[in-house]
Chains A and B, each alone.
Chain A
Amino acid sequence: MEKLIRYLAVSVCLVTAPIAIAAPQAMEQYTVLAALTLNFARFTQWPEQTFAESGDSLNVCLVGDNVVQQSFESINGKNVGVRTIKIIYADRLRNLTQCHVLFISELAKNLLLQVFIDIKSHPVLTMGEDQEFLDSGGLVSMINKDGKIQLYVNLAAAKAARLNISSNLLRLAKIVGDN
């Protein structure tokens, strides 16, 4: 009986879904950005030697306030292939070359430019959340456009940083920068 109800429920939904007004539940921005960051960690290949020091962990560094920190706590310890994610708070903007992923929520422009100078030619996947981040030299930006996140990837710069982002991910993103 219970099973039947379930099947019926699903089928009713399937049948009537096209006429329904879609009103999906809104999710908090940084929860979604954390989940997207996890996906980027999974679908990006770093040069093998970058793990020589970090061992089993894939370092996700964060620059942001308590809201960002709390949201990204959810991906701490998640598995990425053979490695696990380790969240590092990088508010002091030091030792950034230890980061595999560097998410920057908000930073004064002069410091942002300096961060890119510091990690230049290191394989750090820099991720941000606005257009200015890309313009300043960031690799990936997850921009909220009218309530939905759009991905922007500076592919040429990512390649120059020896990062290989899976085409499955790239086909969902807008490619910016040279080429």
Chain B
Amino acid sequence: MKPDSSRNRIIPVLTILIAIVAVWYVAAYFMNAPFQRDLDRRANVTSTTMEFIGKTMAQPKPILPAPHQVVSNVFENTFLRSVTSNRSLVYHSWVTLSSTVVGFTMGTLTGILIAVGIVHLKALDRSLMPWIIASQTVPILAVAPMVIVVLGAINITGLLPKALISTYLSFFPVAVGMVKGLRSPELIQLDLMRTYYASGAQTFWKLRVPASIPFLFTSMKVAIAASLVGAIVGELPTGAVAGIGSKLLAGAYYSQTIDIWAALIAGSVLAALLVTIVGIIAKIVDRSMGGRPA
């Protein structure tokens, strides 16, 4: 890796970030200006342009909160509150994170099992794959409430139903990726195993599994992001009391737009963090499997 490559990456990303923030501020002004004008007129206040712009950026329930409002909300609710507080974003993130991780783990295991089955049994290859693909065309927003309600009816509540929605979303990329990965050994590598009279299990463990590892991590990166979406979606229909999803919903109920955006930021940070962690593990595993340093 070239020593300046991290700088080469940071500058373009920062440029885009600055552009986004600039556009956001302009948009915030225009979105909030009509309401502010209304307020001013009713209160018979006349203000200079600068004062007016300032006010559009300081409304308690703006249509589009300005970036600094969101940032200060995130900061307050992340660092200035006890993590057990109902207002703490750390607390809500933790609730969502735990069901994401549980769902992701179950989804990854399910995906791997399905892939192993599909690769080894022709019948499963023919019968299962269309169903798996069909399963992902069902809108998750329609399925999630049913899952939660049905499981609630048999007294399964709390983390598990949400995790199951994460599982539902995350098994798919893993299954598809692993089918590809387990089938990735070249003919010549399989022939080699045949000349050794290797058993099916030996071929599986010594060839197919190691060959599939890069595919596993690529699909796990997609799966963990999908799991987070699943967990958040799972929190929406239940009127869940905690989690990023419930925070979004509560914000929507009470028009706490700043809270909504703060929750969104928390969700994005969480997603970035999770994907990065999977990426780091992938890199470590790749190194230990003799990967060529990029």
Q: Do A and B truly interact?
A: no
